[in-house]
Amino acid sequence: MAREFIDCHCHLSANEFTQDIDDVLLRAKKTGVKALVAVTEGASEFEKVIQLSKTYPGFVFPCFGIHPLQGSGKDLHSVKVQDLEPFLPLFQKHRDNIVAVGEIGLDFTPWNVHSRSAAKVTIATMKELGISQALLHNFAGKPSVAMEGVQAGFSFSFPPAVSKTEQRAKLIRQIPLEHICLETDSPALGLDNHVRNEPGNITISCEYIAKVKGISPGVVMEVTTQNALRLFPRLKI
């Protein structure tokens, strides 16, 4: 079986990849990664991911979003609708190129840990809005809350770092494989906090999910790839 992974959430426009992005993506390809969804944290990255998608057509797919927390230190603040308005023309300009909208969400903690304090509200809000196609990345909510998302048709993705916490194992056991995707969230959330994470490490997520569920990594790879293709219709591999 050919190795075909899809990294559904990575930050290729991050400064950590500026010097060697070509090598990083080559390693990912050698690992078996067939497509990467490159998300943004701010509008300043929009053009950068578009350029990456042009440099690596059919491999890097742009995803525009505004992180719910902006700034750092004393300047850290929650994003408001008016913060997005100046950049709406960019969404319009590239609407035919982006595969999804993200990174977006709710963040109720002071330390930018997504959905750890907002999972229930996030899922409830999306259901109220009638959203049926959504990926909750690096999900860390309760299994009972996750099942509400499963019932709504949402998907969940997990980076390599989840293999370090038993709490995530309980969550992964309960979520049906048909609602799971793979991600690295690179350059963050690798096995070692002090080592840059890369898309090529998608195999770590795959193997951990397989171990937790008691199935083969090949099955996890195949099902999660099909899940991603269904979730992101514009992905072509």
pLDDT score recorded for residue 70:
64
- Indicate the DSSP class of residue 85: G
Mutual orientation of helices 143-151 and 166-174 as an angle, nearest 10°? Answer: 30
Please give the C-alpha separations between residue 88 and each of 38, 44, 65, 93, 147, in angstroms, as whole numbers: 19, 13, 11, 9, 33
pLDDT score recorded for residue 80:
76
pLDDT score recorded for residue 114:
45
pLDDT score recorded for residue 224:
98
Q: Domains of the chain by range and CATH?
A: 5-231 (3.20.20.140)
pLDDT score recorded for residue 112:
67
Q: Please tell me the pTM assigned to this model.
A: 0.91
CA trace torsion 121, 80, 139, 175 (10° rounding): 50
Q: What is the pLDDT along the chain (237 residues), one digit of tens a residue?
A: 778 999 999 999 999 999 999 999 999 999 999 999 999 988 889 999 999 999 999 999 999 988 776 666 677 767 777 777 888 898 899 999 999 998 887 766 544 634 556 788 889 999 998 998 999 999 998 999 999 999 999 999 999 999 998 889 999 999 999 999 999 999 999 999 999 999 999 999 999 999 999 999 999 999 999 999 999 999 988
Cα–Cα distance, 158 to 201 (Å, whole number): 12
